[in-house]
Structures are given as structure tokens and as C-alpha cells.
């Protein structure tokens, strides 16, 4: 099964389906990432705050997969905002990952009360110019935060990784990202594997297409053009979540999933999270 790429605004290709490792303990991360790489995932999404960059790095090192076939993302944590702190945080992440060059570095949260994300972004521009990272982006940025970055620095983020699933389809934010040339990446794409997967609409589409609920939801993301990074530590689910490129939802199926919108955040509000 081949994962399509999304072309970022600086020409870099990013796999549309990757593997997330939030809340996977470091000592279980190597096994989970190894299972994902063996299945065929080439995008891995971690963060300094997850405490498992070392486990990700260990799996990559042992995989024997050529480095240029992998797409590794990590993120700068809230306490590391600012120009020099960001450069130091990047070096620390790279040493835990055991990598020379990163594919995508994200500002994890804008933390507007700290008011330092523009300074942080200038450090990201330097990392990009120095060739330490192939693309730079943000996470949990609202349109106002994105607008300010672009106005003050002129550098448009390649990616905005936000909470996004049928309970929170982020219609306006996705449109804003697209209008700016920013790729939208969905975190908690399965709404954390909870109630969404037992919704009657999802169950009926699963039975119509002969697929699982998770596959239906992942297909919805892919057909909307989202980059998607489901997490699982369960090998059978890791495979299941990868087998989503050999069927298609109709436009009506996609619309019925989008109509599950409840404006429901499972995570913090980006305007207040600090
Ligand atoms: P997901 O929506 O990916 O859901 C993960 C949960 O769903 C796990 O409990 C998993 O269980 C379960 N699950 C996975 N696949 C299936 C399946 N096929 N059937 C049934 N249940 C399933 O949630 P996450 O919050 O982990 O988000 C994904 C990734 O997004 C994170 O790992 C992280 O990389 C990123 N993220 C980024 C954030 C940010 O602020 N930028 C915030 C949160 C997440 P199990 O593991 O037990 O199999």
C-alpha cells in the first residue's frame, strides 16, 4: 500500500498518513514505532513533551530504513519559547532522536499569554536556513496567531497541526490554512478512539463499505486533504489504520461524517492554554 504525499509550501513532500506517539511511554515507543515502520508508515509524529523522542530514535536507528524515506516531526514545548531557548530545545530534541536533520519542526502551542511565538519563529527560520530542518510549522495556531506570524516575519508555516475529527471538523480553520498555503494536519484524528467510533453514522458507513469505524474516519480525513497521524500501541490497529487506500467514501458519506460536528475539543483551547 502506498501512502500519498502532500506537497508542502516549500516543495517538501510529507506523507499524508503518519504515526503518532502521544502518551506512549518511552520504553514502549521503540516497539510501537518498529511495528509502524514494518507496516509501512514512514511519517512519525513525536514531541519533546511526550518524553519519547529517544524511543522514536531507537526504532529509526534499528529499522535500517534509509533516512530520506522517513519523515520525522517533533515539537517545541511551551517552556522553550524565545529565540535562544528554541535553538537549545531543538538541539536537545535532535540529540534524543539521534538525527542530524529533522523533517518538520513545529511550535507545539502558541501560548499567547507568553507572547513569544514570533521570537520562537525567528529561531525556526534560522534552523530552516541552516538546513537543520526541511520544513517548519506550527500546531494549535488559530487564524489570528498565523496572521501575526506572517505579518511580522513574512514566513508562512508549512503545516498547522490542530485537533480535528468529525466532532470538531474545523471548517473555518481548514479554509484559512488553505487560503494561506498551509497544510492542515489532524491530531486526535479518531477523537482518541472513544465514542466517535461507536456513532451510528460511523457504524453504518463501516457496514456499507465493509470496513472498521476507524478506517471510515481516517478515510474522511484523507478525502478532505488532511494529513493524519493516528496513534496506537496495538499492532492489529496499527495495520488497520494503514489499510485505508483501497476504498473511497462518496461525497454524501463525507458530508454525513462532517455533520457530526459538535464543536467538541478533547484537548486544551489554544487561545488560553499556556
Ligand atoms: P487518536 O485519535 O489517534 O486516538 C488514539 C486512541 O485510539 C488510542 O487510545 C488507541 O488505542 C485508539 N485506537 C487507535 N486505532 C484504533 C482503532 N483502529 N480502533 C479502535 N481504537 C483505536 O488520538 P491521539 O490523541 O493519540 O492523537 C494522535 C496523534 O496526534 C498523537 O499520538 C500525537 O502524535 C498527535 N497529537 C498532537 C497534539 C498537539 O497538540 N499537537 C495533541 C494530541 C495529539 P491503543 O493505542 O490502545 O490501540
Low-confidence ranges of the chain (pLDDT < 70): none
| Ligand 1: centre distance to CA 193 (Å) | 7
C-alpha to C-alpha distance for 195 and 208, rounded to whole angstroms: 20
**What pLDDT, on the 0 to 100 scale, is given for residue 112?**
97
Sheet holding 183-187, edge to edge: 19-20, 43-45, 71-76, 102-107, 133-139, 159-163, 183-187, 227-228
**What pLDDT, on the 0 to 100 scale, is given for residue 1?**
74
Helix and strand element counts for the chain (H, E): 10, 10
Which residue's CA is the nearest one to ligand 1's atom 46?
232
What atom in ligand 1 is closest to the CA of residue 240?
18
What are the residue ranges of helices labelled H in 106-225?
117-129, 143-153, 171-180, 200-209, 213-224
Instruction: Find out whether the beta carbon of 29 lies less than 6 Å from any atom of ligand 1.
Output: no
Q: Which three cell numbers stand for residue 228?
A: 493524519
Which residue's CA is the nearest one to ligand 1's atom 30?
187
**What pLDDT, on the 0 to 100 scale, is given for residue 188?**
98
**What pLDDT, on the 0 to 100 scale, is given for residue 246?**
97
Residue for grid cell 488497520: 240
What atom in ligand 1 is closest to the CA of residue 47?
34
Strand residue runs (E) in the chain:
5-7, 13-15, 19-20, 43-45, 71-76, 102-107, 133-139, 159-163, 183-187, 227-228
Percent of the chain with pLDDT over 70: 100
Q: Which three cell numbers stand for residue 78?
A: 511551551
> 16-190+226-233 in CATH: which number?
3.20.20.100
pLDDT in tens, 51-106: 999 999 999 999 999 999 999 999 999 999 999 999 999 999 999 999 999 999 99
Report the SS3 class of residue 14: strand
Q: Which three cell numbers stand for residue 75?
A: 515539537
Amino acid at each position: 500500500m502506498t501512502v500519498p504525499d502532500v506537497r508542502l509550501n516549500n516543495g517538501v513532500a510529507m506523507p499524508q498518513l503518519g504515526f503518532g506517539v502521544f502518551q506512549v511511554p518511552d520504553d514502549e515507543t521503540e516497539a510501537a514505532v518498529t511495528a509502524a515502520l514494518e507496516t509501512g508508515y514512514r511519517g512519525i509524529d513525536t514531541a519533546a513533551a511526550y518524553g519519547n523522542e529517544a524511543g522514536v530514535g531507537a526504532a529509526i536507528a534499528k529499522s535500517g530504513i534509509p533516512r530520506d524515506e522517513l519523515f520525522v516531526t517533533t515539537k517545541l514545548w511551551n517552556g522553550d519559547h524565545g529565540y535562544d531557548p528554541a535553538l537549545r530545545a531543538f538541539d536537545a530534541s535532535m540529540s534524543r532522536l539521534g538525527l542530524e536533520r529533522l523533517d518538520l519542526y513545529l511550535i507545539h502551542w502558541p501560548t499567547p499569554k507568553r507572547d513569544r511565538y514570533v521570537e520562537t519563529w525567528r529561531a525556526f527560520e534560522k534552523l530552516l536556513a541552516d538546513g537543520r530542518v526541511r520544513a517548519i510549522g506550527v500546531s494549535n495556531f488559530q487564524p489570528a496567531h498565523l496572521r501575526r506570524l506572517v505579518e511580522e516575519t513574512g514566513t508562512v508555516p508549512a503545516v498547522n497541526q490542530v485537533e480535528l475529527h468529525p466532532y470538531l471538523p474545523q471548517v473555518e480553520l481548514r479554509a484559512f490554512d488553505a487560503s494561506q498555503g498551509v497544510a492542515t494536519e489532524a491530531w486526535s484524528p479518531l477523537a482518541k478512539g472513544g465514542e466517535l467510533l461507536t456513532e451510528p453514522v460511523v457504524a453504518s458507513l463501516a457496514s456499507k463499505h465493509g470496513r472498521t469505524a476507524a478506517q471510515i474516519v481516517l478515510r474522511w480525513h484523507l478525502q478532505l486533504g488532511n494529513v493524519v497521524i493516528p496513534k496506537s500501541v496495538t499492532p492489529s490497529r496499527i495495520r488497520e489504520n494503514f489499510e485505508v487506500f483501497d476504498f473511497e467514501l462518496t461525497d454524501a458519506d463525507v458530508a454525513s461524517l462532517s455533520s457530526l460536528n459538535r464543536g467538541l475539543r478533547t484537548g486544551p483551547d489554544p487561545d488560553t492554554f499556556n
